[in-house]
Structure 1
Amino acid sequence: MNAPALNASTPRLEDFPYRLSDNVRFGDLDPNQHVNNAVYATYFETGRVTLMKDPQYGLLQPGLAWIMVRLDMHFRAELRWPGTIELGLGIVKFGRTSVTCDQVVFSDQRCVASAQATMVLINEETRKPTPLTAELVKAFQPWLRRGVAVTPPNFS
């Protein structure tokens, strides 16, 4: 018997508070003339990095950096060129040193791919994981995925 697929239900774009648009590029295609599966990792990276590195959101702190430690992707439909895509991201979990987000790629109001990514906060000098701060957790609050109960980390 097969295990049930993670995130098997179809995501809704409106549940992802961080969104941006991007283009499908001709170079994203494989010989089958649809977007190559490896390109989706770049789409998801664009969504994460655009949010994390924007100084107005306060998700970067001096001496600390984010590294991705896990990316689970679910391919839902073919995506072709030309076209535009909508990227969505929502935080679903806080760990002691990590943040996990759900991400989606939509095209023509249809979810073509979804993913879950886990990022760990590290000390830039030691390259070792470091605990999340209350300030960082507060900065992530606008980006919590709608419809998901997200428990804040225990700072005691």
Structure 2
Amino acid sequence: MEDIRKLQLTTKIPVRWGDLDRYGHLNNTLYFRYFEQARIEWIEQKDFRVDPDEAEGAVIVHADCTFLIPVNYPATAIVKVFAGQPGRSSVMNWYELYVEGDERLFATGSAKIVWIDNRSGKSLSLPSKLREGL
């Protein structure tokens, strides 16, 4: 099956002083938070509320990150979200993290998103309005 990734969203996230580890680099856990923020913005851009009180929504079943270049303070992270071909109940997201004013790629990541019934926890078919544009 051909891997087709389509750019879905680009967002900017300011790096805060408190986001750094003792070496002055962006803490490894924050890369996942930045990817999460971009993913939430992408889902909301598709007109879905990210709220556990909603009947259905998205969860991730796998996430990863490859750290290529340390991000230092001060900086503004630029996160690009790409989506792949949708399955019945899931879709892959890929992330690229850059620093504003620098063309180098600082980190990459991915997450497998599954659409679920929030009450039962069971997977559901991806909504058609989420599939649009994938």
TM-score greater than 0.5 by the shorter chain: yes
CA–CA distance in structure 2, aligned partners of residues 46 and 80 of structure 1: 19
Out of 92, 96, 103, the position equivalent to 1:104 is: 96
The structure-2 alpha-carbon separation of the partners of 1:17 and 1:109, relative to structure 1 and needing over 3 Å to count, comes to farther
CA deviations 1:8-54 (Å, max 9, x no partner) are xxxxxxx7341011111111111111111111000100100111124
Residues 20 and 73 in structure 2, CA contact (< 8 A), matched pair in contact too: yes
Taking the TM superposition and a 5 Å limit, the aligned residue runs for 1:37-116 are 37-54=28-45, 57-59=46-48, 63-107=55-99, 108-116=102-110
* TM-score normalized with structure 2 length: 0.84
* TM-score normalized with structure 1 length: 0.73
CA–CA distance in structure 1, aligned partners of residues 105 and 122 of structure 2: 36
How far the C-alpha of 1:60 sits from its partner, in A, is 5.2
Instruction: Provide structure 2 residue ranges, at least 5 long, that are not aligned to the other structure.
Output: 1-5
Out of 108, 117, 129, the position equivalent to 1:123 is: 117
Of structures 1 and 2, the larger Rg is shown by: 1
CA–CA distance in structure 2, aligned partners of residues 28 and 22 of structure 1: 11
Identity over aligned pairs, percent: 27
Instruction: Provide structure 1 residue ranges, at least 5 long, that are not aligned to the other structure.
Output: 1-14, 145-156
CA–CA distance in structure 1, aligned partners of residues 122 and 116 of structure 2: 5
Pairwise CA RMSD of aligned residues?
Answer: 1.8
Q: Select the structure that is richer in strand.
A: 2
Residues 93 and 101 in structure 1, CA contact (< 8 A), matched pair in contact too: no
Out of 5, 10, 17, the position equivalent to 1:26 is: 17
How far the C-alpha of 1:59 sits from its partner, in A, is 4.3
Residues 69 and 120 in structure 1, CA contact (< 8 A), matched pair in contact too: yes
